[in-house]
Amino acid sequence: MFSRFSLLVLCFCCASVCAKICRSTDIRTHVGQFDKLKNCTKVVGFLKLVLLEDVPYYPSFPELREITGYLLVFFVTNVYDLGDIFPNLLVIRGNILLQENSLIIHHNNRMKQAKKVVTPRVTQSRGKSVIWTIFKKMRL
C-alpha cells in the first residue's frame, strides 16, 4: 500500500535526443544567459540574441530543432555564421512575429553568412525573413 507521500518514478531511454521544451528566451548582454537554452530541442515562443558584445566564444546548441515564434539576432559580435550556434535548427514557425518577420538579423559585425541557418535547411512557416545588415559582406 502506498502512502500519500510515495512517488512513482519512471525511467526510460531515448532513441535520440530527449525532447526539452523551453519558453521564450531573451539572451541579452551576457553569454552566461545561454544556459537557458541548454538541452532545449524546441523554443515555444521567440528567441532573442541581443547586445552580446565582446564575447570571445559562443556555445553551440545542436539539440535545438525548432522555434515556434521568431528569431532575432541584433548587435551580436564575433559570430561568423549562425549555423555554428544552431547547427540543427530546422523550423522557425512564425506563430509570433516581430514586425511581420519570423527571422531578423541586424547590425552584427563579423557575421559573414547565415546560410547554414537560413536556407535551404530552415523552414519558415509564417512571416518574412529579413536580413538587415550594415555590413555588405554577409551572404545568405
Alpha-carbon distance 28 to 9, whole Å? 37
CATH of the domain at 61: 3.80.20.20
Does residue 116 belong to any structural domain of this protein?
Answer: yes
Range of the domain at 119: 21-131
Does residue 29 belong to any structural domain of this protein?
Answer: yes
Q: pLDDT tens, 40-56?
A: 999 999 999 998 887 87
Does residue 80 belong to any structural domain of this protein?
Answer: yes
Residues forming beta bridges with residue 124, ordered by sequence position: 92
Does residue 2 belong to any structural domain of this protein?
Answer: no
The CB-based long-range contact list for 16-19 (8 Å cut-off, 24+ gap) reads 17/41, 17/63
Does residue 11 belong to any structural domain of this protein?
Answer: no
Count of all residues that appear for the chain in the document: 140
Alpha-carbon distance 41 to 43, whole Å? 7
Query: Based on the structure, what is the number of domains in the chain?
Result: 1
On the CB side of 16, CA atoms within 13 Å amount to 7
The answer, yes or no, to whether residue 8 has pLDDT greater than 50, is no
Residues forming beta bridges with residue 103, ordered by sequence position: 71, 129
Does residue 8 belong to any structural domain of this protein?
Answer: no
Reported pTM: 0.74
Does residue 82 belong to any structural domain of this protein?
Answer: yes
Lowest mean pLDDT among 11-15, 21-25, 87-91: 11-15
Does residue 137 belong to any structural domain of this protein?
Answer: no
Where do we find the cell 558584445?
A: 53
Lowest mean pLDDT among 34-43, 93-102, 123-132: 123-132
What cell numbers appear for 58 in the block? 559562443
Cβ atoms 77, 58 nearer than 8 A: no
